[in-house]
Every structure is written in structure tokens, then in C-alpha cells.
Amino acid sequence: MPLVRVDIKKQQDPAYAKRIGQLIYAALRSAIDVPENDNFQILNEHDEQHFIFDPQYLGIQRTDNLVIIQITLSEGRTLEKKKLLYKTIVDGLHSQLAVRAQDVFINLVEVKKENWSFGNGIAQYAL
């Protein structure tokens, strides 16, 4: 169960954020085997004063087209699967929306399965 948060600078195209979300969901399904319909996303657009980033941190040249993606998911994926996920997201955003690889910032937050409740006050994944 990933929970995806996407933050971008406000865009002219109102469908742009949704298209980013669709590409991330496709990457999650193909790279780390997220099940069908397991799609929960929060897509945020910010004005310039509320979207702050360093344009050169770690020698990576970022532009105002930066896409910040935070994915909270259950722990246990291998390093290889995580790397595949990063690459799959970047490749999809680049090929479908012309987002530069340098403008994709991804943060994974891993949690224990007992830290999820999908509704009804029940920890559905707790063993």
C-alpha cells in the first residue's frame, strides 16, 4: 500500500499533476508489484513562495519543473527493486511528460505493515 505525495510548482495545464500521478502508479505496479487499485495519491501544486528547493544540491542542476515525490510504503523491498522503481518513475516522466531526470526528486518512507489502517479503525496488514 503506497501512499504517494507529489509536489510541483503550479502549472498552466490543470491535468499535469494527475498525469504525473498516473505515471507513478504505473511505475509502482511494474517495478515493485503494487496490486491493481492500490492507488492513493495526494497531488499538490504550489506558488513560487511555497515551493522551495536548492537548484544545485549534490551537483544536480534543477529547474522550476522539479517534481518532488514522496512514497510511503511497507518495508521489505530490496535495494534493486527500489532502484528499479526510481528509474521507472524517471523514465516514464521523461518519455511521457518531458520531465528532465535532474528534475525528479524521490523519497521513499518505509513503515512496518502494522502502521496502516485502510478504514474502519482496523490494521488490515497487521499479523
- Written as one letter, the residue type at 94 is H
Contacting residues for 1 by C-beta, under 8 A, at least 6 apart: 38, 40, 73, 74, 116, 118, 125
From the list 17, 3, 5, the residue with the least C-alpha distance to 93 is: 17
Out of 2, 14, 35, 55, pick the active-site residue: 2
Residue 2 known to be catalytic? yes
Q: How many residues does the chain have?
A: 127
Catalytic residue numbers, as ranges: 2
